[in-house]
Structure 1
């Protein structure tokens, strides 16, 4: 851990409000919204309702996490909140599951970037090792950027955040234009699924992946300037802004193209622009969608390094995970997480881009939900203890967020849920081994 305290306290290595908002929105606006129309199109109006349910549930959870960030500023949120409420053992399991969701998300994002580039380079759509190797190359490119320090990663996040907003907002502008001119009539949803609770649940689970990342700022709280104010603001601003953009943009794509066209597309936004504007516009949007996935990849690479580093400093993981390079970056944590993401991509390349992406979406979503459930329960406990200002409205919103999390976990399906639980359970031997080696220190480790 040589030099870790100095690097943590160095002002130049801290994230401000703009970078935190870019981290939140950049991690939320990744691959999901650009690829999900293909899965949502057959659900028709269920998808619109599902977006509403997901955005509402996510905002409830964002409010809960923002309140927790004010109570417990700094530290790593996935560990801090659960450990403060339920002890270091629960904190470890929650942080471990959240860390898994981050590096599996990295695998999905790298695949998504390659999938969008297949519109420009059709050879990438073929099954085989080449697309997998390109995706792996993206993982290690952004690992190298993050190894240069958190400020370098934050600067890259601001740049990609601005670029990825263009196709999302552009889709809404195109929709207003074509509907206003009368040049396009929305196709009838003849082949879409009827509205039902089950179909809405499927849509809500799929859309949750696109909204993962609203917790990103609080996951790196000790790397933020004035975290007590900055983290809650960034969390709420990012979640609200992204939710509104998603609802308008994704609904536009699914409603203005035939269901069969969207469902068969590797890059639905590119298909939307190619059909309604021009083929050249479609290729440009495919490039921007790839940039969006890469921007989110950059943000999640930052998270997968920070979480093990913080846990190692609390003696929950071996001290090797806390070692930093001369730029203050957690060297071995980043290398481990990127190696695991690489193995996932390469071991599953035979599924093809679409199959691999869908598999990683479900595993990532169901694993991340564990943190959301724990945070909601922690907030309810703190409110009962009067550590958080008690109010019936906040309690109702917290309970709503918890119920939504449970529903989304169930909606992910039995296979993904079992995968997430099994992967989370792999952390138990590590926790008990660390506890046996330094029992007193594990119990007395600082929480925030």
Structure 2
């Protein structure tokens, strides 16, 4: 157990939540939502409410199991046993590897503003992406505190340009830009459902403070506070930023923008603002890559300790870092990222991203279900009406979003999980023989 000075505190844990939630993708979200009209703002609100239920479940589970490293895996494993826990860990690891590849591509894309060759030369783009991946890998092998400090720094730097646009844009808003309210051609309910499904992906990462629980100082208090605080900070930035960008740029222009925050910054602060917004996108991607890489060491470490992954994943270096999972993740991320720049493999890369969608939601679903099981196992006799209501709401929200990912994601995501069954049978057999 690392000493307290080598553990993550409240603000570093909060930066894991905020930094992993706010990736480069949020900078494009206003343009993606513009075709729906200002009703898209309600999508943010509904996603924030649903995510609060999930965040509260994770907070309560962290109080019940304060030292459970692995977050959703640990909760599912405790509640439903080896097989369910294994499926969550497997899906989470693969999904995060795909997500890290997409984050790396976003980083390279943002850097192309300053180095145009990255937009036209695949070799330069791949080389830059690989350098970023393996530099982050090196940082994460130096210890959880070092990667945590980097996460806190990049989170502050990525939040600043978003806040500058979110707050500065309030003085340039034109009410006419919010009309029509619903331009999607769908019913109000269908439009809200569609926009809530889109914005939900910006809330993935609310569980991140729970994953390195063994490296968090006073986890029973720190993790619940960091989870809720991180969600509130991200929600404020999301909604306020969307209001400003949508209010500054007409919807007819916004829906065709490939850099909506940068376009809004130019209107608010002048032409040079485009560059510091692009820098913000790059920092956002870099920070998210760092945070998710940290997750990729902790998840295999937790499941290996339970003898459901090969024992090599439980090995730690002199800094107490479970480095094998990080190294394997970086190899996979490097492979997936390179696929995107290889003609003929782009569709395969997109297919892998499609597979990852469901795998990021199932841990939420099962964690919500495990909450009541664990509460009963701990023989808690109070607070049951509120706990049941919370679990039902969080479970329903996760299930709703799984349905919202579409039948292809559900089908192929299910196949991805089932592909792990032979591996599980093998490790379960070895575990039973020990």
- TM-score, normalised via structure 2 length: 0.91
SS at match of 1:218: coil
Q: 1: CA distance between counterparts of 2:199 and 2:356?
A: 13
SS at match of 1:317: coil
Match of 1:4 in 2: none
1:112 is aligned to 2:103 = no
Paired residue for 1:169, among 163, 170, 193? 163
Match of 1:102 in 2: 96
Q: 2: CA distance between counterparts of 1:266 and 1:125?
A: 14
Q: How does 1:83-102 map to 2 (within 5 A)?
A: 83-102=77-96
Match of 1:186 in 2: 177
Q: 1: CA distance between counterparts of 2:349 and 2:252?
A: 20
Give yes or no for contact 2:71–2:208 (8 Å, CA) kept in 1.
no
Q: Shift of the alpha carbon at 1:124?
A: 3.2
Paired residue for 2:219, among 211, 215, 227? 227
Match of 1:446 in 2: none
Give yes or no for contact 1:119–1:266 (8 Å, CA) kept in 2.
no
Relative to 1, partners in 2 of residues 1:90 and 1:396: Cα closer, same or farther, differing over 3 Å? Answer: same
1:314 is aligned to 2:306 = yes
Q: 2: CA distance between counterparts of 1:166 and 1:258?
A: 24
1:334 is aligned to 2:351 = no
Superimposed CA distance per residue, residues 223-258 of structure 1 (whole angstroms, 9 cap, x where no aligned partner): 111111111111111112211221111232234213
Q: Shift of the alpha carbon at 1:25?
A: 1.0
Relative to 1, partners in 2 of residues 1:246 and 1:363: Cα closer, same or farther, differing over 3 Å? Answer: farther
Match of 2:201 in 1: 209
Superimposed CA distance per residue, residues 170-227 of structure 1 (whole angstroms, 9 cap, x where no aligned partner): 1122222223xx7x96374599414533332222222111111110010111111111
Q: 1: CA distance between counterparts of 2:397 and 2:320?
A: 38
What value does the CA root-mean-square deviation take over the aligned residues? 2.6
Moved over 6 A (4+): 354-361
Q: Shift of the alpha carbon at 1:127?
A: 7.6
Q: Which moved more, 1:320-329 or 1:192-201?
A: 192-201
Q: How does 1:133-282 map to 2 (within 5 A)?
A: 133-179=127-173, 186=177, 188-189=179-180, 192-194=183-185, 196=187, 197-282=189-274
- TM-score, normalised via structure 1 length: 0.88
Unaligned runs of 5+ in 1: 1-7, 442-448
Q: 1: CA distance between counterparts of 2:140 and 2:23?
A: 18
Paired residue for 1:77, among 61, 65, 71? 71
Unaligned runs of 5+ in 2: none
Paired residue for 2:391, among 388, 398, 411? 398
Q: Shift of the alpha carbon at 1:315?
A: 1.0
Q: 2: CA distance between counterparts of 1:311 and 1:438?
A: 12
SS at match of 1:216: coil
Give yes or no for contact 1:185–1:256 (8 Å, CA) kept in 2.
no
1:429 is aligned to 2:422 = yes
Q: Shift of the alpha carbon at 1:128?
A: 3.8
Q: 2: CA distance between counterparts of 1:123 and 1:263?
A: 27
SS at match of 2:142: coil
Q: Shift of the alpha carbon at 1:266?
A: 3.2
SS at match of 1:9: coil
